[in-house]
Structure formats: C-alpha cells, structure tokens
C-alpha cells in the first residue's frame, strides 16, 4: 500500500504526507499521514480527524493511537490522517480560510474545484482505494459542555449489510449517546450539505463509516480522548484486528432518534442554566441572552430535552447555535 509519499511496511509504522496543494508563497500544504500495517493480513481501518480545523481532540487521539498500536500483533492496517484539513487548522477555524468552505460538505470532491473540493477529492480517492471502514473524528465547537456522542447515517438505497455494519461499529464504539440520522428526513436538522459529508460518501461507496464527536473543540480533553480511543480499539476488536475484548467505559448508553439545534433569536451574551447530559422537562429554562444593558431572551425547552452539547462561549449572534439537543432517545440494552 502506498498513499502520498508513505509506503506501508508490513509489521511496521510508516509516516509522511499526502500532498494537498500549495500556498501563494510556494509552500506545500501537507496532510500528515500514518500507516500502521500489521504483520498479518486483515481489514483496513481509516481514522480521520480534524476535517474541521478547530476540532483538536482527535489529533492527540491519533498520536496516542499510533504510539500504542503494535504492528507485530495487529491484523490488518490502520491508516491515520490526524489533521486532514491543514488550511482550516492554520487559522484555528472550522472552515477552510482560502475558500471559506466546510470541507466536510465537499465530498466526494472535485479535482478541478475550490481548494476544499480538491482537498476532499485527493483524500477521498485514497480512502476509496484503500479503506474498508472509516471513523471520522470531530468535536463540537470550542467552549462546549458535551456528552461524547457518535452519529451514523441511514441512506436510502444502500445495501442492508453496509447499514447494519455501520450501526454495529458505531454502537461498538461505545460512547454515551448514539445518534441515528435518517438522511431522507434531515431537513429539520443541522443546516448544511449533509449528503456531501465524508462518512456519507464512504457509505455510498460501500465503506461502513461514522462520526464521533470527541468532546469540545479548541482544546485537548484527555478524559474525552480516552473514551473515543477506547472506541477505536472496540471497533478494531469487532473487526478482528486486535486480540482484546470490547470494553464499554460508559454506563447507561442510549440511542438518539431525533435531534435539534436551538438557535439564538437575539444577539448578546448567552449564559446556560443547564448541563449537558441532564434530562430537562418541558418548560425548563435552558439559558438566557442579555446585553450589558438589559435582559434580551430566555430560552425554555419546548419539549423534553436531553442536551448533548451546551455552548459556554457567551457571545452569540442571531441564528447562532446554542446547543445540540436529543429530542427522542431510548436506552441501549447490552
């Protein structure tokens, strides 16, 4: 296996870059790449992180994973792209600064398009060529109080066994909350081109894939990293790549069938009154928005809410998302 300038070594670790274009000053944009190839044959698991430039926990997770994996006992190959969008990372922002696009809404990409479309194309061509399974590591925005959660998508027309395997691996990952997004009904969910997400395009190409939200952006949170790193090992166990039983670190895990992303009506300073993970009855005060001069808005729950994320970064504009809310959920029986 050769990806970018990295040639895999059987029973070893190889590191290098995937070429990702050039800056106007002539400097290359390099996407870091690690291939851990086991001594024995087996599936190829691709772990991708930081397609949104301010979501950093996954980078440290990938570093620790690559240091901990033992290629001598590994069956199959783990391909790791810890920092898949260097151009967004460079400006500490979710989007790519050169074209102001969300790279995770550009798949399968285009070889002749905008910077983010080309970056998505280059990466996705390699994923299609090599990966059997993929985990896409994200985080919520900076300053979010979070319940770590995974998301997998149901897509019409995808073979049943791909959907089943995707669900099996998502649940094996073992985070507290596990969201199913039915793509035929996502109109009411997060705005944006979900159909052009990396994981969706993997699934459309027969590669079971899901997203994990590893805590908050803009920082390293080792406790959240540990939960998701355990998830990667659980997936590897399920795929027969390592000899280790599946371990669930989270108790009382649940499936989430419907989410919503409440937004601010007024611009000002948001202060939450609740914590992520606590069940809120209808009519609970979720938080308020105020200016230095006056009280502007109180946000109340309009149904039973289970917040998976609550922003703790006070400045909000009209339309800014202030939380990620589970509206319908049920416990997972082990």
CA distance to 62, 220, 247, per residue, from 233 (Å): 12, 20, 9
Asked if residue 224 binds Zn ion (CB under 5 A), the reply is no
Q: How far is the CB of 141 from Zn ion (least distance, A)?
A: 9
Complex with Zn ion: residue 138 or 176, whichever CB lies closer: 138
Complex with Zn ion: residue 227 or 299, whichever CB lies closer: 227
Q: How far is the CB of 317 from Zn ion (least distance, A)?
A: 20
Give me the residue label for tokens 């190829």: 44
Q: How far is the CB of 54 from Zn ion (least distance, A)?
A: 9
Number of residues that bind Zn ion (CB under 5 A): 3
Complex with Zn ion: residue 52 or 259, whichever CB lies closer: 52
Contact 268, 320 (CB under 8 A): no
d(CA 178, CA 9): 35
Complex with Zn ion: residue 52 or 118, whichever CB lies closer: 52
d(CA 324, CA 11): 42
Residue nearest to Zn ion (CB): 138
Q: How far is the CB of 297 from Zn ion (least distance, A)?
A: 27
Stretch 37-56: interaction string toward Zn ion, x if CB under 5 A: ---------------x--x-
Question: Would you call 220 helix, strand, or coil by DSSP?
Answer: coil
Complex with Zn ion: residue 186 or 237, whichever CB lies closer: 186
d(CA 103, CA 96): 7
Q: How far is CA 283 from the centre of its chain?
A: 31
Contact 182, 152 (CB under 8 A): no
Side-chain-facing half-sphere of 255: CA atoms under 13 Å? 14
Name residue 137's beta-bridge partners: 49, 212
- Return all residues near 315 (Cβ < 8 A) that are at least 6 apart: 268, 269, 270
Name residue 300's beta-bridge partners: 285
Interface with Zn ion by CB under 5 A: which range of 32-40, 108-116, 131-139, 251-259? 131-139
Complex with Zn ion: residue 14 or 209, whichever CB lies closer: 209
Q: How far is the CB of 212 from Zn ion (least distance, A)?
A: 10
Interface with Zn ion by CB under 5 A: which range of 62-70, 133-141, 163-171, 259-267? 133-141
Name residue 32's beta-bridge partners: 17
Q: How far is the CB of 39 from Zn ion (least distance, A)?
A: 34
Asked if residue 138 binds Zn ion (CB under 5 A), the reply is yes
Name the site residues for Zn ion (rule: CB under 5 A). Answer: 52, 55, 138
């Amino acid at each position: 296996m050769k990806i970018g300038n990295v040639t895999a070594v059987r029973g070893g670790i190889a590191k290098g870059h995937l070429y990702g274009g050039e800056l106007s000053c002539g400097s290359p944009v390099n996407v870091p790449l690690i291939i851990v190839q086991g001594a024995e044959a087996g599936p190829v698991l691709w772990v991708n992180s930081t397609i949104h430039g301010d979501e950093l926990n996954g980078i440290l997770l990938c570093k620790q994973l690559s240091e901990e994996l033992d290629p001598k006992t590994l069956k199959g190959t783990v391909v790791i792209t810890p920092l898949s969008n260097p151009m967004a990372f460079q400006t500490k922002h979710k989007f790519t600064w050169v074209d102001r696009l969300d790279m995770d809404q550009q798949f399968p990409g285009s070889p002749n398009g905008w910077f983010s479309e080309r970056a998505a194309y280059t990466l996705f061509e390699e994923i299609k060529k090599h990966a059997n399974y993929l985990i896409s590591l994200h985080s919520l925005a900076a300053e979010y109080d979070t319940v770590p959660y995974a998301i997998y998508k149901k897509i019409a027309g995808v073979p049943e066994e791909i959907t089943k395997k995707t669900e099996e691996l998502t649940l094996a990952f073992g985070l507290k909350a596990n969201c199913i997004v039915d793509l035929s009904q996502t109109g009411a969910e997060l705005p944006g081109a979900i159909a052009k997400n990396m994981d969706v395009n993997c699934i459309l190409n027969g590669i079971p894939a899901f997203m994990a939200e590893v805590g908050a952006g803009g920082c390293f949170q080792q406790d959240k990293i540990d939960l998701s790193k355990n998830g990667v090992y659980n997936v590897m166990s399920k795929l027969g790549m390592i000899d280790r039983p599946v371990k669930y670190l989270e108790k009382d895990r649940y499936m989430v069938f419907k989410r919503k992303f409440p937004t601010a009506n007024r611009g000002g300073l948001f202060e939450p009154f609740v914590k992520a993970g606590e069940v809120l009855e209808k009519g609970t005060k979720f938080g308020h928005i105020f200016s230095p001069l006056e009280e502007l808005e109180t946000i109340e729950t309009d149904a039973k809410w289970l917040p998976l994320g609550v922003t703790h970064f006070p400045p909000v504009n009209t339309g800014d998302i202030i939380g990620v809310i589970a509206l319908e959920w049920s416990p997972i029986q082990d």
